[in-house]
Structure 1
Amino acid sequence: MVSREHVGARMGLLQQRCTKNLLCALILLEAAGTLALMLYALLWEAGNLVDLPDKRIGFYNFCLWNETAGELQCLDFKHLQAMGISLPGMVLARVSVYACLVFITFYPIVVTYVKCTEERKGWKAILIALSFKTIMLSGGLVTFLLQTSRWIYPSDFTVGFWALLGTQALLLLQILTVAMYLSWAKHTHPY
């Protein structure tokens, strides 16, 4: 016969494995959602945060309606600087947001590797990387919005803009989930 202590120990071990796998699956699911939102906003919507018949404003476009020509006219950097938009500010915003997409693309591979090796230092590095991506994305968005705020109203934003905000929320949720995983791992496997 199997003793109750033996059954209890096996159940505890099974519960720990299920919790660990559930947290890792949640982290990967959040990563997939983040990647999908970023791809939608920056590739499908082409980085346009405003796409209306009278204006198209994004990381690569700044087009306003020209009354005399009767069409949408895209402005180059020379015209944007004359309007008070900083070229370095726009480049910084673009690089920050698109670099975040690159990091997000490789993130699931890193999570899978760290899960397989089960290194706590790897999870701490993931937490740092998530924080870095969150700062990059929010910094890029804020810089862009500060540069273009005179021409954009809150009702003008496309789904791509809201996808970037959703990405920001999912990055924050991933930070919370990884922190929970680290806390759980510390209490179940202190060494």
Structure 2
Amino acid sequence: MNIPQISVIVPVYNVEKYLTQCIESILSQTYQEFELLLIDDGSEDNSGSICDHYSNIDSRVHVFHKENGGVSSARNMGIEHAKGEWVCFVDSDDWIDKDTFEYITGLWKGADFLQFGYRRTGGTASEYSYVPSKVLRYSTSVYCTKRIYHSAICGYLLKLNIIKKYKISFPNHIKYGEDQAFILKTLICSSEIVI
């Protein structure tokens, strides 16, 4: 396989109930130039076996098993092993629409930081993140004044070379808000933002 455009990092811990749907939603993307890194964070259920199954049937899937250290350490391990130009984080109980990557590829030219929408579903209610009705491009300083970023890491595509150049990582010492800390650090180091 050539160097992938996108590295998709999925931290995995005791999510056998949701994991297949998550992985299938990624592997069924209409845009195929990606790698999928499944980081098994010491799962005690069948999650690790599910990861291994997909790595055996699809060469884009790479599995890493580690001792449990939390979601931040799992995502950081994914960053260490990522080879794509861009990195995208998907939580193991989430799924993405099949044309997500194809749509995004038409927007990333000149960008360092790309934000897209997400929706939360539960029962009959859906909660949508704010996304403008048209594509917007901002410098970092202007974007920050708009206050339209959201704190969930699942709605971003980020340049891997910026993350590595500035040694940005998820903080292991906090359990909540680690997404926002990572997003804001990456944002500060980016030049052009696309929403």
Question: Do both share a fold (TM > 0.5)?
Answer: no
Greater strand content: 2
Greater gyration radius: 1
Q: What TM-score, normalized by structure 2, do the two folds share?
A: 0.22
Q: What TM-score, normalized by structure 1, do the two folds share?
A: 0.23
Greater helix content: 1
